[in-house]
Amino acid sequence: MHDIFDVKNKIVLITGSTSGLGLAFAEGLAERGAIVVLNGRNNEKLNEIVLKMKAKHFNVHGFAFDITDNQSVKDSVSSILNTLGGIDILVNNAGINIRAPLHEFDDDDWDKVIGINLTGTYKVSKAVAPHMIENQGGKIINIGSMQSELGRPTITPYAASKGGVKMLTKGMAVEWAKYNIQVNAIGPGYFKTELTKPLYEDPEFNSWLCQRTPSNRWGDPSELLGALLFLASDASNYVNGHMLYVDGGLLASV
């Protein structure tokens, strides 16, 4: 019987996969037989992770590049295509947050947040899309957030970037559906990673979040894998432009 969630031998590029959710995605897909390209800006950290995963007999490769650097993105995507022969699935996961009240927000920090979270997603997708178009197929999965829908004090630039990711997802889906490319997004709730360290280390935030979330707890990165596998596999071949929230019910509740 054909396993509609099968990702075996699929070539997957995951940006920002040297820590947190991206690393969990990389491990989850590699465990299921995918050929995974890991990425981050720090070459040393990347090589260490690639070696550790290779020791587990995972089929992984590392390509260090900054998703905001257009030339580096283009060169790296070309090298991946030359080395591995294709990219079947792109996960636009790399992201940052800088927290400060909006009226005091540093303009360079605004550019950094938008440049990585939104423009970086556009740049990597634009570099990979011609290959998927030529191949007449592919899956692009963008990583949004609760802030694709909701504001929260001190993270307005992040919310603007993630709201942008939601609309970029829809736009790319509409433009590229005719080439059999499905572009969808995952909107994670709150998961403990480097990015959310200032939040889970704050007892007041912790207690607010658990009360605010119907499931009453933080998510574990492994709990995003089901959504990822769905959007990365044949199971979602007629799903396009969709934002799949994995949030313990947070968005369903006031």
Ligand X SMILES: NC(=O)c1ccc[n+]([C@@H]2O[C@H](COP(=O)([O-])OP(=O)(O)OC[C@H]3O[C@@H](n4cnc5c(N)ncnc54)[C@H](OP(=O)(O)O)[C@@H]3O)[C@@H](O)[C@H]2O)c1
Q: Under the rule (CB under 6 A), what is the footprint of ligand X?
A: 15-22, 39-42, 45, 66-68, 93-96, 116, 120, 143, 145, 188, 190-191, 193-196
The least CB distance from residue 42 to ligand X, in Å, is: 4
Task: Name the residue nearer to ligand X (CB basis): 100 or 177.
Answer: 100
Q: How far is the CB of 69 from ligand X (least distance, A)?
A: 8
**Which residues are annotated as catalytic?**
158
- Report how far residue 25's alpha carbon sits from residue 7's, in angstroms, rounded to the nearest whole number: 12
DSSP state of 245: E
The nearer residue to ligand X, 180 or 196, going by C-beta atoms, is 196
d(Cα 27, Cα 194) in Å, to the nearest integer?
17
Q: Which residue has the tokens 């020791």?
A: 55
Say whether 192 sits in a helix, a strand or coil: coil
* Comparison of 17 and 213: residue with beta carbon closer to ligand X: 17
Closer residue to ligand X in complex, CB, 138/219: 219
What are the structure tokens assigned to 31, written together?
Answer: 């465990």
Q: Is 27 helix (H, G, I), strand (E, B) or coil?
A: helix
Q: How many CA atoms lie within 13 A of 127 on its CB side?
A: 25
3-state helix, strand, coil in the chain (%, to 5): 50, 15, 35
Spatial contact of 36 and 59, defined as CB atoms under 8 Å apart: yes
Beta-carbon-side half-sphere exposure of residue 244 (alpha carbons within 13 Å): 19
Minimum distance from CB of 3 to ligand X (Å)? 27
d(CA 9, CA 250): 35
- Tell me the closest approach of the beta carbon of residue 4 to ligand X, in angstroms: 26
CB 196, min distance to ligand X, A: 5
Q: Between residues 148 and 236, which has the closer beta carbon with respect to ligand X? A: 148
Q: In whole angstroms, what is the distance from residue 168 CA to residue 39 CA? A: 22
As a residue count, the chain comes to: 254
